[in-house]
A and B are shown apart, each in its own frame.
Chain A
């Protein structure tokens, strides 16, 4: 199982380190060849409009879209959540997403940087203490389709969701040193799909 972190822009190194703590040696992927070579993908935090533009400019946008559609386990944090949602609200001009996740995600929903915050969340599917979640100009999930499971909410807004091989969080577990959500992705999403032979 080879996991790549999409390395067009954003906090790539933090995701690689978090996966490393889970015993997975992940690497940054930018080119078509690199993206084709991985079995699972993490889309990091960053600026979603920038990542989408770079993916288009370097001809990997449709590749990522089709790999997600054909079952590649994918986890998106913050910008990554926006990019794997089927529908973006308050996106940049003409902003498109890779899609896959049957959800509407509102970009910068919690406000500007002054409203960015950290808090304790209950996250279904991981054991132990509440998860310290860091929200930075974060999105929230406005609505989800029938097959989508809500794993965590804040103030009535879903902020972590899963649909089969896709996982998305509005917050940044890669910034806290707590790797339980990365482990959840590796154990629950990646290993399941490799068992199913996808």
Chain B
């Protein structure tokens, strides 16, 4: 396609704006074209294409990497909504490959095995926007400083246990509230303590929110889980293993979509929680030995 010279792609506004359009929506993990179509039919705003959902990565162990491009392309052909895909933390070549496939968003994800234990990807170098996980405000701002155009609280992926998602959402909003209440001359030390750039810290203190969209992820398995995250201030929800590891994925997916829209209406939530069949069995985060917790990957 020819474009007039004045058209600029890959700007911050275009990257962050894409995430704005996903707000109030549900992004679902899918491992093949059939699941992607189920997700689209249920009203997902986007799908995350990956080879194994986090619950399987956890169960099977081994090194988890970027998905086979063939499978990603297959999913892109089968749905009309945006398709996201995951690269390993720090693996900028996986990200280059995903960009060349034309995915709509890259998730630099702790669910995959990190490729670099020091550096994250320099996300400013890409036209395609990135979403990154964070467990607290400092981590979120470090990712934004590296070019992330969207943040998701990490939770603990593949567990069906929502407690870590709650902790991370609360922690991010709590730290934002603290910054908003500080005197301007206290922000320098706050930036030092958060280990985040002063300019971003000051921006958050002034606006009272992150400069990018904040979704939540990791352990969401029911309509009530999703609605709780929205009430805690999330702009939208990623659901990974929670849908396709449950008894009736199509029905559960649609119920979670509706519950994110009516997250503050308990009557709708009660209706949507009825007769969904088995939720994913899940695993308590407390039973997972610390070295196996995915949320602790990334820094």
Residues of A at the B interface (CB closer than 8 Å) are 7-14, 30, 45-47, 49-50, 53-54, 57-58, 78-79, 90-93, 107-108, 110-120, 134-137, 154-155, 172, 175-176
Contacts and interface: CB of A to CB of B under 8 A. Distances in A.
Given A119-B7, A137-B18, A175-B13, 12 more contacts: A7-B24, A8-B24, A9-B45, A10-B23, A11-B20, A12-B24, A14-B20, A46-B23, A93-B37, A112-B103, A117-B9, A117-B14
A113 B80 contact: no
Q: Per DSSP, are chain A's interface residues mostly helix, strand or loop, or mixed?
A: loop
A46 B45 CA distance: 8
B23 A9 contact: yes
B1 interface: yes
Contact of B81 (A11, A12, A47, A134): A47
A57 B256 CA distance: 13
A50 B256 CA distance: 12
Contact of B99 (A78, A108, A114): A114
Interface string B13-26: 11001101111110
B78 to A, nearest CB: 10
B80 A107 contact: yes
A14 B44 CA distance: 21
20 contacts: A7-B261, A45-B20, A45-B21, A50-B43, A50-B45, A57-B43, A57-B254, A58-B258, A58-B262, A91-B80, A92-B40, A112-B102, A112-B103, A113-B103, A113-B129, A114-B102, A116-B14, A116-B18, A137-B82, A175-B17
Interface in B47-84: 79-82
A118 B4 contact: no
Nearest to A130: B6
A57 B258 contact: yes
Given A30-B261, A54-B257, A47 B22 contact: yes
Contacts of B3: 117, 155
B104 interface: yes
B7 A118 contact: yes
Given A50-B44, A113-B128, A175 B20 contact: yes
B118 interface: no
Contacts of B10: 114
B80 A11 contact: no
B24 to A, nearest CB: 4
Given A47-B46, A134-B17, A117 B8 contact: yes
Given A8-B24, A9-B261, A57-B258, A119 B4 contact: yes
B199 interface: no
A49 B14 contact: no
A78 B14 CA distance: 13
Contacts of B128: 113-114
Contacts of A8: 24, 261
A116 B43 contact: no
A10 B21 contact: yes
A116 B40 contact: no
B215 interface: no
Contacts of B6: 119-120
Nearest to B24: A9
B248 interface: no
Contact of A50 (B102, B104, B257): B257
Interface string B243-276: 0000000000010011001100000000000000
A175 B102 CA distance: 23
A172 B80 contact: no
Given A10-B23, A93-B41, A136 B127 contact: no
A80 to B, nearest CB: 11
A91 B129 CA distance: 24
Nearest to A9: B24
A107 B82 CA distance: 12
Contacts of B181: none
B1 A136 contact: no
A117 B9 CA distance: 4
Contact of A113 (B2, B105, B262): B105
A180 B158 CA distance: 46
